Structure 1
Amino acid sequence: MKKRIGWIDITRGIGMLLIIIGHTLGPYTFSTVARVIFAVHVPVFFVLSGYLFSQKDWKTIFSKLNRNLLLPYIATCFIMIVANWIALHHQNPFIVAKIQTHQFIIAALYGVGTNTAIPFMNQTVFAIGAIWFLVAMYIGDLMFNLSFKIADRFKSTKLILLLSVAECILGFILASKIHFILPWSISAALESQAFYCGGYLIRKSNLIERSFVYPIIGIVLWGISAYTGFFYLNTGYAANPFFAILGGIGGSFTLMVLSKYLELILSKIPLVLKAIQKFGQLSLLVLCGHIFDLNILGLAEIVYNQFIRNSEIVATIVSIGYRILFVSLILFIIPRIPFIRSFFLNRQYPFNFNFKNKLID
């Protein structure tokens, strides 16, 4: 197993915290703060994937993606479907049923982050929630690997950039022209190719180690993206696609550089450093736990209502604190449960079969 890079785990940890905060802004959902968060909180994961990407044969990449992305997606969907069914038949304020069981199953199969109406079918497919990201990255990894294969065939690395830009443009065209979201968030996967390529070029150019001017440019691009409007990658929508892509790459790069400095600073506070890195190391588990809390549990609303009498900002901050505490408990509990942990952390805890063909962890 490759040695982990500390600052990359910190960047992932920051990205997950931004996702949690972005989903818990309440009355500030359409604020400037929200625009700043949405400009980078999902793109940063695609940029990091591009930074770490290495070309693989198709058998290897399918095996990796099935274990690391598809397996936790299926497990999380199954758990949510069961919990939703329980809530439908045993109403209580702690587990909330929002849709019927068959609608939840269709949502899991379709894999998008926002409700979408399928034309000519009089059918609405409900959102599966934030784990749309897992299936979008599944498709995105395959697309970027294909770009490398094509570039190798024509012996031109420039083709990776050209293909990534073309796919990104196609993603925005599909998102704007087709009035429904394609299954498995395909438009988002197409748009993500620009972020993969951005991460790849950052590594190839060794920008992380170069002049402090580049992070300043990154901050400026991030700010311009937020200023021009929202970027909702789950639907493929951006108020300004050009600046949304540049801002996503620039903001991600800024977070990467910041994380390198944070690693040095926090080395003197090892408990804090370890906690942030743990969020990054287990970011996939954090996402799955967060979507269960977001889609199924009613605790955040109860917490918010308890503090709204003080002020909206206090209630919002406390709700964010609750959500972070919830996923922290998930990070503590799930890795300690044999068999269950293998669905979410298969790399660390793969399924194994003994000679009696009995499943063990």
Structure 2
Amino acid sequence: MAKKRLTWVDVTKGFLMILVVIGHYPGELDFPLSKYIYWFHMPAFFLISGLFFKEAKSRTEAGESILKRFMQLIVPYLFFLLVITVIRYGMELGYGNTDIHWYLNDLWSLVIGGRFVRGAYGVFWFVTTLFAVFVIFTAITRHLSRKVQIAVMAGFYLAAHAESLFAKYALSGGTVEAAQQIPLPWNLDVALMAAVYFGIGYYLKEFWMEISKKWFVAGIVTVAACLLLDATGVFDYRLSMKFLRYDHLFLDLIIPISCTIVLIGLFQRLTARIPLTWLQKIENHSISVMYLHIFADIVLNDFFTYGLIGFTAIGLVLPILVSIGLQKFVPYGKLLLGGFRPKKKRQAAVAGD
């Protein structure tokens, strides 16, 4: 059972990574595909991460757990931030940009991170937010009872919506411009909403590990109904965690969770019959795909013309090749890709041995 569960998790995350790439396609499509992808793909990542969270039972264990996540999340973050920035600045110098103020302002935006960096860094906010959520859960599960934890999650959810309303009605500009007027680094405020989705995965672990037929069908019906209502203009639902867009107090739970039920339920059933190892392979290189798919397009789109399929292929294949190269030819390449594994402590010898 454990092996089967691991298979569907990897396959689901591999598929979600494809959706991440597609969601950043800069061209126009006749069908609002990106809009529907954003309904659920980032909440689903946080939710699945919550499935595998383990409580720390002591201060030492908590510290070790946080260090492990730092090495797995922030070290690759810093590595790819450095690599992309060095290449970008080399390109800028090649184009004749010698304005020192431009470089200083750009560096400052990279330090702040989160929603303040765009373009090649468009996905970096997710990693810092996930790390913040992990630290939050390490703290609250150690010190608070389960009922208080749930109350904290409810408070987070309401606070996230309050911040979204503030950005929408009290600040000027559109969704992106308004969110960028809240100067919190690393998108740490997005952890309010992300923690809720993470918690839904963590607290309802048994439910997610095997989606029943009843819930799978209910999820399909709910998603189909929401798609129909959106397509016919009854509502115009949008979700953007990065830019604090949470427009519906109830739909922000119903739609992402229903979509995730369908996605996980589908792949649980498919992987019981079909290996889908190609999706597992994408997941194996997901760190590189996440960080490099936008940058690969930025580098190549001046030389080639391609549509959605070409964009997606480039955003998957080139980062996977980079990932393979790092692991095979670069010292500590696996570490730079989040492959940190702490050394297991040797058990104390039994008296008399």
Fold match (TM-score > 0.5):
yes
What residue number does 2:130 align with?
A: 137
Kept after mapping to 2: 8 A contact 1:114/1:127: no
Three-state SS of the structure 2 residue aligned to 1:113 is: helix
Q: Comparing 79-88 with 57-66, which one deviates more in the overlay?
A: 57-66
- State the number of aligned residues: 314
User: Where in structure 2 are the equivalents of 1:207-218 lying within 5 Å?
Assistant: 207-218=208-219
Q: Match of 2:319, as an amino acid?
A: V
- Residues 293 and 314 in structure 2, CA contact (< 8 A), matched pair in contact too: no
Provide the residue aligned with 1:81 in structure 2. 85
Matches within 5 A, 1:290-301: 290-294=293-297, 297-300=298-301
Cα distance change, pair 281–298 in 1 and its aligned pair in 2 (3 A)? closer
Number of the residue aligned with 1:6: 7
2:284 matched residue in structure 1 = 281
8 Å CA contact 1:199, 1:249 repeated in 2: no
TM-score (norm 2): 0.79
What does 1:1-361 correspond to in 2, within 5 Å?
Answer: 5-24=6-25, 26-28=27-29, 31-56=31-56, 57-91=61-95, 100-114=102-116, 128-152=121-145, 157-178=146-167, 179=178, 180-181=181-182, 182-204=184-206, 206-222=207-223, 227=230, 228-267=236-275, 273-294=276-297, 297-300=298-301, 302-303=303-304, 306-307=305-306, 315-339=307-331, 341-347=333-339
| Distance in 2 between residues matched to 1:59 and 1:69, nearest whole Å | 15
Whole-angstrom distance in 2 between the partners of 1:222 and 1:114: 32
Amino acid at match of 2:278: A
Structure 1 spans left out of the alignment, 5+ residues: 116-124, 268-272, 308-314, 352-361
Instruction: Decide whether aligned partners of structure 1 residues 151 and 262 sit closer, same or farther in structure 2, where only a CA change above 3 A counts.
Output: same
Report the AA paired with residue 45 of structure 2: F
**1:162 and 1:278 mapped to 2: Cα distance?**
39
Q: How big is each residue's C-alpha offset from its partner over 1:316-360, in whole Å with a ceiling of 9 and x where there is no partner? A: 222222222222322332221232514433435889xxxxxxxxx
Letter in 2 for 1:49: S
Q: 1:281 is aligned with what amino acid?
A: N
Q: Work out whether residues 112 and 185 of structure 2, in 8 Å CA contact, stay in contact via their aligned partners in 1.
A: yes
Q: What secondary structure does 2:162 align onto?
A: helix
Instruction: State the alpha-carbon separation in 1 of the partners of residues 38 and 103 from structure 2.
Output: 30
Residues 1:224 and 1:190: Cα distance change in structure 2 (over 3 Å): farther
Q: How big is the shift at 1:212?
A: 1.1
Q: For 2:121 and 2:245, locate their aligned partners in 1 and report how far apart those are by CA, in whole Å.
A: 18
5+ long unaligned stretches in structure 2: 168-177, 231-235, 344-353
Aligned equivalents of 1:230 and 1:287: distance in 2? 22
Query: Offset of 1:69 from its aligned partner?
Result: 0.8
Residue 346 and residue 231 in structure 1: after superposition, are their counterparts in 2 closer, same or farther (change >3 A)?
closer
How far has the Cα of 1:78 moved from its partner? 0.7
Corresponding letter in the other structure for 1:106: W
Counterpart-to-counterpart distance in 2, 1:349 and 1:285: 18
8 Å CA contact 1:218, 1:254 repeated in 2: yes
CA–CA distance in structure 1, aligned partners of residues 200 and 48 of structure 2: 9
Cα offset, 1:130, TM superposition: 0.7
8 Å CA contact 2:287, 2:338 repeated in 1:
no
Instruction: Compute the RMSD of aligned alpha carbons.
Output: 3.0
Q: Which has the higher contact order (CA 8 A, sep 6+)?
A: 2
The 1:114/1:248 distance shift into structure 2, 3 A limit, reads farther
Q: 1:275 to 1:165 in 2, by over 3 A?
A: same
Q: CA deviation at 1:138?
A: 0.7
- State whether residues 69 and 134 of structure 1, in contact with CA within 8 Å, keep that contact through their aligned partners in structure 2: yes
For the Cα contact (< 8 Å) 1:80–1:292, is it kept in 2? yes
Contact 1:224/1:247 (<8 A) preserved: no
Question: How far apart in 2 are the matches of 1:46 and 1:17?
Answer: 16
1:36-88 C-alpha deviation (Å, 9 max, x unpaired): 10111111110001111111233122211210111011111111211111011
Deviates more, 1:329-338 or 1:70-79: 329-338
Q: Distance in 2 between matches of 1:221 and 1:233?
A: 22
Deviations 1:91-143 (A, max 9, x none): 39xxxx9x94323322221121356xxxxxxxxx9984211111010111112
Distance in 2 separating the partners of 1:243 and 1:91: 46
